[in-house]
């Protein structure tokens, strides 16, 4: 243990990619004296017990949150309201309740009304993930150098916000605070719209008559494969994101469609200058992302390139 | 040298990402007794000479192709017609002329009319690349396990096709032969449309009033950054791709737009079932790509994850 525990007992509701990564990192860093987890399916609970990362694996959310200082819902956005209602009577006075959902306005609307006075509600969104899910998919390094956005409602106890900030910082994240509505706009363009577009184009490729699926898969290195990774993300999670951040996503989609029409028109009219100008501008944005360390400049994202001499 | 040279003299017109990678791999594998390269700018020629990978760096394409057994145009698609015309009088009888363009129908239309009888024209497209360009961006392993598509016109000498196939196989590529028109349809969906969409969304993000560019860059790990890599590709190359594969790109774009409207409608109508069904289907396509080795299943594409304990 490398750090003094920030919380005595942490309860994680759900042990998927995010819950499992929090558990692994919190354990590695000694951030909690005890970590309790729940999982809905018996199979997952058996696997979590086997992994030996947490102190207790329970079926009952109500039981898990009892006496917990920090409760984090690590479940799809659509499930957060009902779970808040379920655990509310069992929360300890002074406990911090948080989540990891990719949408924040809806989380506040769905969860806040159920939570009792004397409990501190600090919604959170770690902007990190992979396309994998399930109890084995997490890893302790997932949050390092990634942002975690906290969206505490007006009037939240600053000490609770600070404790959760310290927890996420100890997991390796850089923490930022903003309003739920602004969060939802920022994520609509940086995450939700990209996922929607990726889901669309991967579906389009799957339905073509002139090009077979096996050709699409074979020649995917030309660009398509970069879309398939995000289009392989958890379907339940993403269904909930789109249903719960509908207005912001539809707004961004409107702007995207206008811009796509503009480029389409340039192609149709052979306007090489307009295309060149646009493509030059987007290159600069990429440089910004690499410079602040949110991606690797290594060729091909550092995908493995086997040596030229292969053993036959 | 590990292999008997396949060609005595190879001439590369252009030394960017692709030309530079061919030179490095051909040199490493001993595939040519002599490699000659041209580059348009004096600065690039000086850098190529300094790198010491090729035997000679020339300014004149006409001089470079003299006595060459294999000539590969490694330049943007739009420049291939004029260069074919320029080099035609200097080509040796029996030479193979090829290219590396991402579009094949237009290449055949633009180059073939200039090439003399007795020269074998075998267009090629290695489906591999990174977002980097310039003489330093190439690496010998770029083509390993990637496909290279040859589109020889009807009646091409089979021995010439076989020699070029052997050359690309020795560079590490898997070689496939198809017609130029089918190539252009396959690439329109696997590469050109994904690039167009990525260029669009990165531009959209850059123009928003409610979300600042620095927020977009900061929170890009939520999905957006995967689009920025391909939207950082060489602007000249991509302008030429869209202008030269217009019909196929516009056709795929039509289908994409219909599919995007369908998903948009599902969001607007809160149709969670339709969303879930679509997202589940696209996940299976990703598995196909990972299974045949066209991508890594490592979390985050194998992007580097620093250890949890950082030196402060």
* pLDDT digits 0-9 by tens, A117-142: 999 999 999 998 887 889 999 999 99
Residue A1 in 3-state DSSP?
coil
φ, ψ of residue B11 in degrees (nearest 5): -115, 125
Tell which of A204, A291, A297 to mutate to test the B interface (max B CBs under 10 Å): A204
For residue A250, which residues of chain B lie inside 8 Å, CB to CB? 264, 267-268
Does the distance separating the beta carbons of A200 and B279 come in below 8 Å? no
pLDDT confidence of residue A48: 98
Q: In this model, does residue A300 exceed pLDDT 70?
A: no
Q: In this model, does residue A310 exceed pLDDT 50?
A: no
Q: In this model, does residue A312 exceed pLDDT 80?
A: no
pLDDT confidence of residue B249: 96
Q: In this model, does residue A292 exceed pLDDT 80?
A: no
Query: What six digits make up the tokens of B246?
Result: 């217009």
Q: State the Cα–Cα distance between residues B17 and B21, nearest whole angstrom.
A: 6
Angle at B70 between CA B66 and CA B76, to 5 degrees: 95
CATH code: domain B182-295 is 1.10.3660.10
Angle at A226 between CA A225 and CA A228, to 5 degrees: 60
Q: In this model, does residue B309 exceed pLDDT 80?
A: no
Q: Please report, rounded to a whole number, the percentage of residues in chain A having pLDDT higher than 90.
A: 76
Q: Which helix (H) or strand (E) holds B194?
A: helix B193-207
Q: A182-294 sits in which CATH class?
A: mainly alpha
Taking residues B121-147, report their average pLDDT.
Answer: 93
pLDDT confidence of residue B300: 55
Does the distance separating the beta carbons of B204 and A231 come in below 8 Å? no
Q: State the Cα–Cα distance between residues B194 and A192, nearest whole angstrom.
A: 17
Q: What is the ipTM of this complex?
A: 0.84
Q: Please report, rounded to a whole number, the percentage of residues in chain B having pLDDT higher than 70.
A: 93
Q: Which helix (H) or strand (E) holds B207?
A: helix B193-207
To the nearest whole angstrom, how far is the Cα of A100 from the nearest Cα of chain B? 13
For residue A299, which residues of chain B lie inside 8 Å, CB to CB? 130, 132, 137, 139, 142
To the nearest whole angstrom, how far is the Cα of B122 from the nearest Cα of chain A? 20
Query: Helices (DSSP H) in chain A: which residue ranges?
Result: 17-29, 42-51, 61-65, 77-87, 105-111, 158-170, 180-187, 193-207, 213-218, 224-230, 235-244, 246-268, 272-291
Taking residues A271-296, report their average pLDDT.
Answer: 84
Q: In this model, does residue B311 exceed pLDDT 50?
A: no
Q: State the Cα–Cα distance between residues B159 and B153, nearest whole angstrom.
A: 14
Chain Cα centroid distance, residue B53? 21
Tell which of A24, A188, A267 to mutate to test the B interface (max B CBs under 10 Å): A267
A142-165 tens-digit pLDDT: 999 999 999 999 999 999 999 999
Listed by start position, the domains of chain B span: 7-178, 182-295
Q: Choose the weakest-confidence range: A93-102, B135-144, B212-221, B269-278.
A: B212-221
Which of these, A75, A52, A61, A82, lies nearest to A133 by C-alpha position? A75
Domain covering B7-178, topology = Rossmann fold (3.40.50)
B66-104 tens-digit pLDDT: 999 999 999 999 999 999 999 999 999 999 999 999 999
Mean pLDDT of chain A: 91
Q: State the Cα–Cα distance between residues B84 and A183, nearest whole angstrom.
A: 54
With CA atoms as reference, the chain A residue closest to B265 would be A250
To the nearest whole angstrom, how far is the Cα of B15 from the nearest Cα of chain A? 17
Q: State the Cα–Cα distance between residues A69 and B96, nearest whole angstrom.
A: 73
A293: left (phi over 0), alpha (psi -120 to 50) or beta: left
Dihedral (C-alpha) B275, B281, B286, B291: value to the nearest 10 degrees?
Answer: 160
Q: In this model, does residue B10 exceed pLDDT 80?
A: yes
Compare CB distances from B196 to A194, A263, A308 and report the shortest one's residue.
Answer: A263
Compare CB distances from B208 to A189, A197, A275 and report the shortest one's residue.
Answer: A189
Q: Choose the weakest-confidence range: A86-95, B13-22, B42-51, B128-137.
A: B128-137
Q: In this model, does residue B33 exceed pLDDT 70?
A: yes
Q: Which residue has the tokens 């969860």?
A: A111
pLDDT confidence of residue A25: 97
Non-local CB neighbours of B177 within 8 Å, separated by 6+ positions: B149, B150, B151, B152, B161, B165
pLDDT confidence of residue B131: 79
For residue B239, which residues of chain A lie inside 8 Å, CB to CB? 272, 275-276, 279
Exposed, middle or buried, A168 (CB in 10 Å: 0-12/13-18/19+)?
buried
Exposed, middle or buried, A41 (CB in 10 Å: 0-12/13-18/19+)?
exposed
Angle at B77 between CA B72 and CA B81, to 5 degrees: 75
Does the distance separating the beta carbons of A102 and B220 come in below 8 Å? no
Taking residues B10-36, report their average pLDDT.
Answer: 97
Q: Please report, rounded to a whole number, the percentage of residues in chain B having pLDDT higher than 90.
A: 76
For residue A219, which residues of chain B lie inside 8 Å, CB to CB? 127, 147, 149, 186-187, 190-191
Compute the count of residue pairs across chains A and B with CB atoms less than 8 Å apart. 392
pLDDT confidence of residue A272: 97
φ, ψ of residue A10 in degrees (nearest 5): -110, 130
Q: In this model, does residue A214 exceed pLDDT 90?
A: no
Q: CA neighbours within 13 Å on the CB side: how many for A192? A: 31
Does the distance separating the beta carbons of B308 and A144 come in below 8 Å? yes
Does the distance separating the beta carbons of B127 and A221 come in below 8 Å? yes
CB A30 within 8 A of CB A57: no
Higher confidence at residue A134 or residue B221?
A: A134
């Amino acid at each position: 243990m490398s750090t003094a525990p920030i919380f005595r007992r942490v309860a994680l509701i759900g042990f998927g990619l995010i819950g499992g990564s929090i558990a692994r990192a919190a354990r590695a860093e000694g951030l909690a004296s005890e970590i309790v987890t729940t999982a809905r399916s018996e199979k997952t609970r058996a696997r979590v017990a086997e992994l030996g990362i947490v102190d207790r694996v329970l079926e009952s959310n109500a039981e898990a949150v009892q006496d917990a200082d920090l409760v984090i819902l690590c479940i799809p956005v659509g499930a957060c309201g009902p779970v808040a209602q379920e655990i509310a009577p069992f929360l300890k006075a002074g406990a911090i309740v948080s989540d990891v959902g990719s949408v924040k306005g809806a989380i506040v609307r769905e969860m806040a009304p159920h939570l009792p006075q004397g409990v501190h509600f600090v919604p959170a969104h770690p902007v990190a993930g992979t396309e994998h899910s399930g109890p084995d998919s997490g890893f302790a390094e997932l949050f390092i150098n990634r942002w975690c956005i906290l969206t505490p409602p007006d009037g939240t106890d600053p000490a609770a916000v600070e404790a959760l900030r310290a927890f996420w910082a100890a997991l390796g994240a850089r923490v930022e605070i903003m309003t739920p509505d602004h969060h939802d706009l920022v994520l609509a363009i940086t995450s939700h719209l990209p996922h929607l577009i990726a889901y669309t184009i991967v579906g389009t490729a799957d339905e073509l008559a002139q090009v077979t699926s096996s050709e699409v898969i074979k020649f995917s290195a030309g660009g398509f494969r970069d879309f398939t990774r995000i289009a392989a993300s958890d379907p339940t999670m993403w269904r909930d994101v789109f249903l719960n951040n509908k207005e912001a996503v539809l707004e961004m989609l409107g702007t995207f469609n206008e811009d796509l029409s503009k480029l389409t028109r340039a192609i149709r009219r052979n306007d090489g200058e307009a295309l060149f100008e646009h493509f030059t501008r987007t290159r600069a944005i990429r440089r910004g992302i690499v410079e602040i360390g949110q991606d690797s400049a290594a060729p091909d994202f550092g995908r493995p390139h086997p040596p030229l001499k292969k053993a036959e």
